[in-house]
Amino acid sequence: MSDEKLVGIVLVSHSATVAASVAELAKGLAGAGTAVPVAPAGGTGSGELGTSAELVAAAAASVDRGAGVAVLTDLGSAVLTVKALLAEGDELPEHTRLVDAPFVEGAVAAVVTAATGADLAAVEAAAAEAYTYRKV
């Protein structure tokens, strides 16, 4: 699968620790050795709580393999940061999408689906479907 173009996943959180932990969880649950490029973009450039357009753009560039980039966010201003980058038009790789999905469950679904070689639309759909997961 190493020659296959895989959808990249960016996880944007107000906390660098949360973003990195969710990335680790999603990759771990997708299976050892998964080749899916996943990058956390958490906190600010100075290590504070918040979001950083620069960190998001760098994370997206780092996971772009030509099959698109799915961006999942935790809270409101993270969404606004990604929307602003998308509106700029040249800040994020071509075929980058903000995915409306729960952060943890959506990240796991996105990475597991991307690991199968699915396209960006399928990765987005799998992540969004995580809204329907019931716990009781």
8, 14, 37, 38: the active-site residue: 14
Instruction: Determine contact, residues 63/38, Cβ cutoff 8 Å.
Output: yes
Label residue 91 exposed, middle or buried (CB < 10 Å: 0-12, 13-18, 19+). Answer: middle
Tokens in use for 84? 């602003």
Label residue 46 exposed, middle or buried (CB < 10 Å: 0-12, 13-18, 19+). Answer: exposed
14 is catalytic: yes
- Residues carrying an active site annotation: 14
